[in-house]
Amino acid sequence: MASPKIDPTLKKAAADGDAPLYAETVMIHPRTVKGTFRTWKWAAVAVLLAVYHLSPFLRWDRGPGAPSQAILVDMVGRRGYFFFLEIWPQEVYYLTGLLFIAAIALFFMSSLAGRVWCGFFCFQTVYTDLFMLVERLVVGDRAKRMALDRAPWSADKFGKKAVINLVWLVIAASCGVGFTLFFGDAPTMLTDIVTGNESAAVYGAIGVVGGACFLLAGYAREQVCLYMCPYSRFQSAMFDEHSLIIGYEEWRGEPRKPVRKGDSFENRGHCIDCRMCVTVCPTGIDIRDGIQMGCIGCALCIDACDAMMDKYKLPRGLITWDSIANQAARAAGGKGNIRLVRPRTIIYVALITLVGGLIVFSLASRKTTELNVLHERSPLYVQMSSGAIRNGYVLKVLNMVRQDRTFVLEVGGIDGATLSVVGGESNARSAELKVSPDVIGTYNVFVNAPLSALQGKRTPLVFTLRETSEGKVTRAESLFAAPDK
Amino acid sequence: MATIEKDSVSGQNTTGHEWDGIKELNTPLPKWWVYVFWATVVWAVAYWFLYPSWPTVNGYLKGSLGYSSRGELANELDIQKKARSAWLSKIEASDVAAIEQDKDLLRYAMAGGKIAFNENCAACHGVGGVGAYGFPTLADDEWLWGGTLADIEQTIKFGVRNTNKDSRQSEMPKFGADGLLKDDQISAVADYVLSLASKAPAKGSAGETVFTENCVVCHGEDGSGQAALGAPALNNQIWLYKGTKDAIVAQVTKPKHGNMPAWSERLEPSTIKMLAVYVHNLGGGK
């Protein structure tokens, strides 16, 4: 912990075993560090923010009348667009599949290399890094920030805090705006948002997402990982003794001892107890205590420790990615080896392949027409003056492509049944249905059948819909109701 | 006695009360809570000035924004009306036959007609025109007053047997109650009507004679009815007042007559047009 200032009375009470169970959290101000992993982390921040903010502006030509945004969730039009793909609401299972793959990929990553997601890619990490950068630019590094927090309120402190919060607000607002741009035409929306012409709902969404960003990355920080995030809790269940985690090589480091100039490293551990690994930690833990829940796997302690090792001409890697099995092997004097292929990782890869394959298969064989039949229930059936029975149906023809299509509707299963379409054919063997591009065509259809051809109260019947240009047939089953014979 | 002291652990004062050695802390309310409380007070006062708030002797304080929930509703209705007016004026300008020819107008009229039907007509005729005893089914192809689009529009506009001067009017004589036919004649004609209904007319029966002498004027020689007089067809299995012999005898003896309001006195012309199109397309329109 970044030594929180504790009230002396509390210390005394703690010694007496009389301490309150509640301890106030102290803001953690990690020291800035330079190194390989810090560079990778900055790269991740840049790439992820670029993807997040630029992808709504990618264009994808879908022809006239269709939105030209590559990635778009059109809530009003009830369509999801992803480049070449256009998803209808009933196909939301593709999203479920994608989320499933994302979850398993998270497990897979955790079982291989610990919490790399948390340390490098999670938006909490990305925005926390960004917000801390703002603090560093305005105030300075760890010591200055801690000093400012301790200092009494003054014009200087107020000014610095105000600048920090303002910049945070701008970043948070851009986070909120970026989110909403996936739900409408990004360029027009952005103009409308800036000029104040967007709807209250959009500003509300920006407020909620941006507000969450501001509070979580600005003030809650590691508390999110420790107390709010469920993933951080169950990721440890994906670890085993062969998972590469960030660990302190205790066999090499202990016994730790501060070092003075000229001291030799004979008969002592390599850890010089400089506490650099602790001060750079964004969650304020001491990695030397072993693997623990607070570790988000950001690898900044590795950077910090390696720098110190270099300084003392010791080999790097006192803190490093290593598996628990390896550490144990090395402690016993052996040589560890890295095992990436394990039953656990094989199962995760198999699951990802399976679900990914299912998604690809179902996308490849995706139907472009769907026929839904709703049997009219009032009246269930009507007897005509000729004695024939008639049933009403509402047919919903889903034309899931962006072109006009013509279908031929026929009814089967009952001898002598004829079709009538409101606004179209009447008492015909087949009827032509024209459906506009990318819509659900709704048709009121009546089927007439002679009483003699019916099997009592319910007779099954089948509607077949033949697309005229490609000849593909879609079927839908329904029932024909009649009075009991 | 109340002695307020400082608690060593929390640093807070106690209330000064003590019960068997247990003292209560007098922890102040959290600051954020107090701030939120005062913010709500400020909010409330601002609300008084902006929105309708306090009652006065002659009304209430209207607030500077001039808001009222009635006004909001009126506004929303207005917007709806404007959105519909383009369609409705088109429907009002077209005659019913033209509406059926135009695919878009037809779709609008079917949707609007359905709502108007459920609001005004379904109480008697049933949802979807299913009909009930005494209330004709509108989904079949037997029509008392004609099943063409024009007939249906006329019937909806002026109704049946009401006080409107253009209302459909006709009454079947009370053959039994007024002594026009004897009981055995009525029984015989009922049998003949049943034979007509099952498409096997009992030629040469006593009933046929009674039928020819009394009924063919309106119901036709083959019992196919006459829409101009509202005389129902008797040569099928569709009955308004049941198709049992008892029911037919009762109807001949002292007929029941339904009536229907003249909807032109209650509904907009465009609504009536939509209703006519909707009913015509319920399945039995001619």
Within a domain: residue B286? no
CB contact under 8 A, B131 and A9: no
Same domain, B62 and B140: no
Omega of the bond leading into A379 within 30 degrees of 0 (cis): yes
Residue ranges, chain A, pLDDT below 50: 1-4
Chain A touched by B283 (CB under 8 Å): yes
CB contact under 8 A, B140 and A382: yes
pTM above 0.80, yes or no: no
Specify the number of domains making up chain B. 3
DSSP string covering A305-344, please? Answer: HHHHHHHTTPPS-SEEEE-HHHHHHHHTTS--------HH
pLDDT at A9: 59
Same domain, B113 and B230: no
Through-space distance between the first and last CA atoms of chain B, rounded to whole angstroms: 99
| Structure tokens given for B97 | 């036959």
pLDDT at A427: 85
Q: At what angle do helices A36-54 and A123-138 cross, to 10 degrees?
A: 110
Same domain, B187 and B204: yes
Same domain, B264 and B127: yes
CB contact under 8 A, A9 and B283: no
Chain B touched by A152 (CB under 8 Å): no
CB contact under 8 A, B103 and A379: no
Name which of A9, A392, A423 is nearest B9 (Cβ-Cβ).
A9
| Structure tokens given for B101 | 């020819």
Within a domain: residue B173? no
Class of residue A402 by CB neighbours under 10 A (exposed 0-12, middle 13-18, buried 19+): middle
CB contact under 8 A, B139 and A379: yes
| Structure tokens given for A268 | 């002592």
Same domain, B157 and B86: yes
Name which of A18, A19, A382 is nearest B139 (Cβ-Cβ).
A382
Nearest Cα of chain B lies from the Cα of A444 at a distance, in angstroms, of: 9
**pLDDT tens-place string over residues A89-123:** 999 899 999 999 999 999 999 999 889 999 999 99
Chain A touched by B10 (CB under 8 Å): yes
Nearest Cα of chain B lies from the Cα of A10 at a distance, in angstroms, of: 6
Same domain, B276 and B162: yes
Residues contacting residue A279 through CB under 8 Å, at least 6 positions apart:
A2, A30, A31, A142, A304
CA separation for the pair B260, B276 (Å, rounded): 15
Same domain, B247 and B139: no
Tell me the residue range of the domain where B138 lies: 71-167+260-280
CA separation for the pair B80, B112 (Å, rounded): 13
A residues 404..423 contacting B (CB < 8 A): 420, 422-423
Within a domain: residue B142? yes
Contacts of B140 in chain A (CB under 8 A): 382-385, 390
Mean pLDDT of chain B: 92
* ipTM surpasses 0.90: no
DSSP string covering A257-281, please? Answer: ----TT---TTS-S-----HHHHT-
Name which of B100, B131, B283 is nearest A390 (Cβ-Cβ).
B283
Torsion of the alpha carbons at A93, A97, A100 and A105, rounded to the nearest 10? -160
Within a domain: residue B177? no
Same domain, B91 and B154: yes
For position B212, which CATH number holds?
Answer: 1.10.760.10
pLDDT at A3: 45
B residues 216..275 contacting A (CB < 8 A): 233, 235-238
A residues 324..353 contacting B (CB < 8 A): none
| Structure tokens given for B131 | 């009909």
CB contact under 8 A, A392 and B283: yes
Q: CATH says A369-481 is which class?
A: mainly beta
Same domain, B102 and B127: yes
| Structure tokens given for B65 | 């924004």
Residue in A with minimal Cα distance to B101: A423
CB contact under 8 A, A385 and B283: no
pLDDT at B23: 86
Chain A touched by B110 (CB under 8 Å): yes
* DSSP bridge partners of A446: A392, A420
Chain A touched by B131 (CB under 8 Å): yes
**pLDDT tens-place string over residues A373-392:** 999 998 899 999 888 999 99
Omega of the bond leading into A255 within 30 degrees of 0 (cis): yes
Same domain, B101 and B60: no
pLDDT at A1: 39
Residue entry with tokens 């010791």: A314
pLDDT at A2: 43
Phi, psi of A14 (to 5 degrees): -65, -40
Same domain, B50 and B189: no
- pLDDT tens, residue order, chain B (286 aa): 578 888 887 888 888 888 898 888 998 899 999 999 999 999 999 999 999 999 999 999 889 998 999 999 999 999 999 999 999 999 999 999 999 999 899 999 999 999 999 999 999 999 999 999 999 999 999 999 999 999 999 999 999 999 999 999 999 999 999 999 999 999 999 999 999 998 888 888 999 999 999 999 999 999 999 998 999 999 998 999 999 999 999 999 999 999 999 999 999 999 999 999 999 999 888 8
Residue in A with minimal Cα distance to B104: A423
**Domain residue ranges of chain A, discontinuous segments joined by +:** 27-91+116-231, 369-481
Within a domain: residue B175? no
Within a domain: residue B103? yes
Within a domain: residue B113? yes
Same domain, B157 and B269: yes
Residue among A384, A386, A395, A427 with most chain B CBs within 10 A, to mutate? A384
